A and B are shown apart, each in its own frame.
Chain A
Amino acid sequence: MSPAPAPLLTVRDLRVVIGGRHILHGVDLEVAASGTTALLGRNGAGKTTTVRGILGLVPRTGSVLLAGEETVRQTTHALVRRGIGYAPEDRGVFAALSVAENLRLAERPGAGEPAYDLVHELFPELRRRARQAAGTLSGGQQQMVAIARTLLNGNRLIIADEPTKGLAPKVVTEVAQALERAAEAVPVLLVEQNLAVVRRLARHCVVLADGRTAHQGPALDLLADAEAARRLLGVGSAGHGGPARTPAGPPARTAARPAARTTEADA
């Protein structure tokens, strides 16, 4: 066996304290240099906070190595410009801006031609709705905007936080297809509760519990081990490509929220 290639992203002992509350107590994870790495765990395990910590959107300590380079002291915008596409949990779509403006904002001037061909091929709807205010889109269409923004630039890492949450099964498939396609070219860190999507996309997985890493390994191994899946993810059966079910209940858990002003550490 040849040695595994070095991971693209290595997170060591990531800790986040917000308002005096310890939310992450030392998360370790690696994002492989190719394919999709799933970040799993029950609700409230700290998946979103981990992603936000990696990006510097919340104050954090520890080590975040991107292609071997320490980034934990960098500002969010500087880190992102090194080649990260981020689709946040609440989609982060600017409601008052048009679809075209949302995409234009994600362009990085001076970093090559934006890949509108790819975006419009994957999501033809976005071209038709270019002038529509993003706030009037359906949840699925907003998610397409969020994913499209990560595909526009030649990123070296895409991070998507529960991109299928609350979407209709048909849209879940469409979003999963887009991510699958993206992952052929760029490593993806995917936070996902829909185990059918995980099974389809993820090669590796990291499971968080109570703000710590509880498990790392091949995704299929975990999904095949019903007992471990129940213990780590809180589900009885991992399902076998069955209908999209989230372990936390019906997928309609979050309706399209207006883009709320989130906290920030960058300002």
Chain B
Amino acid sequence: MATVVLLTFTGLGLGALYFLIASGLSLIFGLMDVLNFAHGALLSVGAYGTWWAASGHLPGAGTEGAGFALAVVFGTAVGTIAAVLLEVAVIRPLYTRPREQILATVGVGLAVPALLSAIWGADARPFPGPKALSGTFALLGAEVPLNRPVLIGVALVVLAALKLFLGRTRHGLVVRAGVEDRAMVTALGIDVRRAFTLVFAIGGAAAALGGALGGLYFGSVDPGQGTSLLIFAFVVVVTGGMGSLTGAAVASVAVGLVQQFANYYTTAGLGDVAVVVLLAALLLVRPRGLTGRLA
């Protein structure tokens, strides 16, 4: 029982991380048809930004309490700015050339980790999280690390905020309409490219926040973290249906849990394979993913 509880929390925590990456990835693809291979790099930017600030480089930021919160805000802000720059400077000039666009995001996805390791080294750096979050709590005989429920809680808050944004605001309305038919949105007199930038900013913020929290989850940051998480986030997005937020949430949980349980109860590493098998099986039954629509 204790093992099941621990695996469940760990799987859900991992699922929360996947969701923070996949939500933006899915919105960006749904609206813009852009598969953003640089999305993992945005997570890394957030992770390193938070790490850098919490390590005492940013006045007021630190490893405890409000100081750590400030570090997370800083990391998220840096990731958001990076995402906006990516959209404006790399994606936008290439809108009429989808192939070059993909290559450009792949390039950025490779360049950012290389840049990070050039500056701070290729090795993992210990992540300075608050003491309060480094402990565990006892549940049904299991010692569950506290950062798991924190991650799950943050992902739920992000999900709720995104749903409110999409459902209750005019910008959200434009995004939902754009996912269905971009050209018609412009034919109503709306500059859909502003929604593009907005969706990149939101997706970048969520991924960067995932980076900050991923530091807590893994206990360290390294340049390749974002890229390896991105692979599973792609699985989540395809499983959940491109452009579907609810689909991404459900698929994140499924992928995180399947991965953890399969890795534990079979050979380690098989869980990662199991996730891909899950994806293939689902696509055979429901080619458009779990929902195939946004909301």
* Residues of A close to B188: CB separation below 8 A: 77, 80, 86, 105-106, 149
Total number of residue pairs linking A and B with CB closer than 8 Å: 86
* Residues of B close to A88: CB separation below 8 A: 184, 187
A170 within 8 A of B: no
The B contact surface, by secondary structure, is helix
By the criterion CB–CB under 8 Å, are B174 and A105 in contact?
Answer: yes
Which of B's residues lie within 8 Å of A, judged by CB?
Answer: 32, 95-96, 170, 173-174, 176-177, 180-193, 293-295
Residue in B closest to A93 when the chains form the complex, CB atoms: B184
Which of A's residues lie within 8 Å of B, judged by CB?
Answer: 55, 57, 75-78, 80-81, 84, 86, 88, 92, 94-97, 101, 104-106, 108-109, 149, 259-264, 266-267
**Which 9 pairs between the two chains have the least Cβ-Cβ distance?**
A264-B183, A80-B189, A92-B184, A81-B189, A76-B186, A262-B183, A266-B186, A77-B186, A77-B191
The answer to whether A94 and B181 touch (CB under 8 A), given A104-B173, A267-B95, is yes
By the criterion CB–CB under 8 Å, are B182 and A261 in contact?
Answer: yes
Q: How far is the CB of B166 from chain A (nearest CB, A)?
A: 11
8 contacts between A and B (CB under 8 A): A77-B189, A92-B181, A94-B181, A104-B173, A149-B188, A259-B181, A262-B181, A262-B183
* Residues of A close to B182: CB separation below 8 A: 261, 264, 267
By the criterion CB–CB under 8 Å, are A261 and B180 in contact?
Answer: yes
Residue in A closest to B194 when the chains form the complex, CB atoms: A77
Residue in A closest to B294 when the chains form the complex, CB atoms: A96
Q: How far is the CB of A61 from chain B (nearest CB, A)?
A: 17
* Residues of B close to A95: CB separation below 8 A: 180
By the criterion CB–CB under 8 Å, are A267 and B293 in contact?
Answer: no
Instruction: Kindly list 4 other residue pairs between chains A and B, CB separation below 8 angstroms, not including A76-B187, A80-B189.
Output: A80-B186, A80-B188, A261-B181, A266-B192
The answer to whether A267 and B192 touch (CB under 8 A), given A97-B173, A104-B173, A105-B185, is yes
By the criterion CB–CB under 8 Å, are A94 and B187 in contact?
Answer: no
* Residues of B close to A101: CB separation below 8 A: 173, 176-177
By the criterion CB–CB under 8 Å, are B186 and A75 in contact?
Answer: yes
* Residues of A close to B185: CB separation below 8 A: 105
Residue in B closest to A153 when the chains form the complex, CB atoms: B189
Bound Cα distance A149, B182 (Å): 16
Residue in B closest to A102 when the chains form the complex, CB atoms: B177
Residue in B closest to A263 when the chains form the complex, CB atoms: B183
Residue in A closest to B193 when the chains form the complex, CB atoms: A267
Q: How far is the CB of B117 from chain A (nearest CB, A)?
A: 35
* Residues of A close to B192: CB separation below 8 A: 77, 266-267
Bound Cα distance A262, B187 (Å): 11
Bound Cα distance A236, B180 (Å): 41
By the criterion CB–CB under 8 Å, are B187 and A57 in contact?
Answer: yes
Bound Cα distance A105, B185 (Å): 8
Q: How far is the CB of A98 from chain B (nearest CB, A)?
A: 10
* Residues of A close to B183: CB separation below 8 A: 57, 76, 261-264, 266
